[in-house]
Amino acid sequence: MRPDDAALEAALRHLPHGAEFRFLDRLTRLVPGRSGAGEYRVRGDELFLRGHFPGDPLFPGVLLVEAAAQLAGVVAQTDSAIGPLPGLKLTAVRGVRIAGSARPGEVIRLEAIVAGRMANLVQVTVTAFVGDRALLQGEVTLSGASQA
C-alpha cells in the first residue's frame, strides 16, 4: 500500500529533528505503524563530511544508524491504533552491521519493519542500501514516555 505524497509528507512531521540533523529527505513507502522506506541524498555540503574524511568524504556509519532510527521513528509514530509515543528516542542498537558507506551524490535507501511493540518500547529491523549495495542491517529499539 502506498499512501499519496501528502500523507507521506505529513508522516515526516513526526521527526523532531532540526534540518541540520535530519537524515531522511522523503518517504517512498509507508504502512503506518508497520513498515516504511525512505531516502537520504548525501549532498556533499554537510559539515561533518569536511572531517570524515578530508579529500575522501564518506557518510559516517553512526549516522547510517541515526538515519535508520529516524525512519523507524516515523513508522512507529504513525500507528493509528496506538498513537504517537511522547519523547520517542533511540535507546538501543542490536546486531547492527555496517558493511559500507555512501559518498556525496549517492542516495541512501532506508527500510524499517516494526518487529514488536511492548508498552513504550518499539523494536525495529532496519536496513540501508545504495543501489543494490547493502550498507547497514540490524535492529534498533526506540522508547518513549508511557501513555496513560
The pair phi, psi for residue 44, each rounded to 5°, is: 105, -15
- Tens-digit pLDDT profile for residues 36-57: 999 999 999 999 999 999 999 9
CA distance 102 to 36: 21
**24 within 8 A of 36, measured Cβ to Cβ:** no
Closest to 90 measured CA to CA, from 16, 26, 38: 16
Topology adopted by domain 5-143: Thiol Ester Dehydrase; Chain A (3.10.129)
CA distance 34 to 90: 17
**75 within 8 A of 114, measured Cβ to Cβ:** yes
DSSP-assigned letter for residue 119: T
* Catalytic-residue membership of 17: no
Closest to 81 measured CA to CA, from 123, 32, 147: 32
- At 147 the pLDDT is 61
pLDDT band at 7 (very low <50, low <70, confident <90, very high): confident
Catalytic residue among 14, 29, 52, 117: 52
pLDDT band at 1 (very low <50, low <70, confident <90, very high): very low
CA distance 50 to 105: 15
- Tens-digit pLDDT profile for residues 128-145: 999 999 999 999 999 998
- Tens-digit pLDDT profile for residues 59-117: 999 999 999 999 999 999 999 998 899 999 999 999 999 999 999 999 999 999 999 99
Provide the residue type at 132 as one letter.
D
DSSP-assigned letter for residue 84: P
* Residue scoring higher pLDDT (62 or 148): 62
pLDDT band at 148 (very low <50, low <70, confident <90, very high): low
